[in-house]
Structure 1
């Protein structure tokens, strides 16, 4: 199939195969959407710091401070994605990264406190309605998959002083690091200062408040290690 061969080439994966049978109408509809996304990408890429390969852009995508955004090959930004790259290190997206509809990525909250930035590695897929706050820095590895509604925070408000209102006590920025080959379930929340090792699985709805070792299966509020994947 021509489309299958084309996707193999774009992904650089000679073993890529369709897992379902599609009608000609299905394929025509998909092709039409992707073609429109490529056309939008031709216009948007001129505002990026750097962009390799094709750029697939959905409708109503908003990118601010694109001169601080670096994109690898064949980036997909689905409908209504909002990106604000204003930060010290900007936003860097690897090859074959996809970010699904209604997701928000930003790096600076209060304009007087410039944030750090966000890095997402090759072949990582971010599902719908993700919310990444990169003030303290977010690093996501390669081949990571995420369910919908995942939230990552890299900044906390200070609140220890009872004599000062919380909004006047400043913030504490701590980076979040997610290793390679992780699966983050839908609705998971990852808080500042957390490092999740390579190969971890985070159950849907978990709230991760502390760092986790590699190849752990993690679940709960607050999240804890249920077992190791080596024992699964």
Structure 2
């Protein structure tokens, strides 16, 4: 099938195959949507720092400070994605990155404190309603998959002095790193300073407050290691 071959070429994966059958109406509908996204992408790429491939841009996508955003091949931003790249290092999105609808990525909170930035590696898929706060820096590796409603915070409010309003005590910025080939379950929250090693699985709804060694499976609030994948 022509469309399947086209997707195979765009993904750079000669083994890519559809596992289901589609009617001509299904294919026409999908093609129409993707074509409209490519047209929007032609306009958006004029405002980006760098873009090396096709852009598939959904409706109502907002990209602010696009001159600080670098995109690899075949970036997909679904409907209502909001990106603000204002930061020291900007936002870097690798090849074949997809960010699903209603997701928010930003790097600077209050304008007086310029944030660090966000890096997302090749072939990583971000599901719907993700919230990435990159003030202290967020780095996500290659081939990472995420469920919906994942939140990542790289900044915390200071609160130790009970005689000063919390909002007036400033913040502490600490980078978050997620390694390659990780699966972050839906509704998971990852807090500042956390380093998640390669091959980890974070169960849905977990709150990760401490770093996790490679190939760990974690779950809970706060998240605890329940198994190592090498022992499965």
Q: TM-score, normalised by structure 1?
A: 1.00
Cross-structure match for 1:32 = 32
1:59 CA drift (Å): 0.1
Structure 1: 4+ residue segments shifted above 2 A: none
Cross-structure match for 1:91 = 91
Cross-structure match for 1:19 = 19
Spell out, residue by residue over 1:23-55, the C-alpha distance to the aligned partner (whole angstroms, 9 max, x if none): 110000000000000000000000000001100
Cross-structure match for 1:102 = 102
SS for the counterpart of 1:27 is: helix
Aligned pairs for 1:41-120 within 5 A? 41-120=41-120
Aligned counterparts of 2:26 and 2:152: Cα–Cα separation in 1 = 35
Gaps of 5+ in 2: none
**1:207 maps onto 2:200 in alignment:** no
Aligned counterparts of 1:163 and 1:29: Cα–Cα separation in 2 = 60
Aligned counterparts of 1:204 and 1:41: Cα–Cα separation in 2 = 33
Spell out, residue by residue over 1:170-196, the C-alpha distance to the aligned partner (whole angstroms, 9 max, x if none): 000000000000000000000000000
Gaps of 5+ in 1: none
Aligned counterparts of 2:26 and 2:230: Cα–Cα separation in 1 = 40
SS for the counterpart of 2:43 is: helix
Aligned counterparts of 1:202 and 1:25: Cα–Cα separation in 2 = 38
Spell out, residue by residue over 1:149-183, the C-alpha distance to the aligned partner (whole angstroms, 9 max, x if none): 00000000000001100000000000000000000
Aligned counterparts of 1:187 and 1:162: Cα–Cα separation in 2 = 32
1:231 CA drift (Å): 1.2
User: Paired residues, what number?
Assistant: 232
Spell out, residue by residue over 1:65-99, the C-alpha distance to the aligned partner (whole angstroms, 9 max, x if none): 00000000000000000000000000000000000
Q: TM-score, normalised by structure 2?
A: 1.00
Cross-structure match for 1:9 = 9
C-alpha RMSD over aligned residues: 0.3
SS for the counterpart of 2:59 is: coil
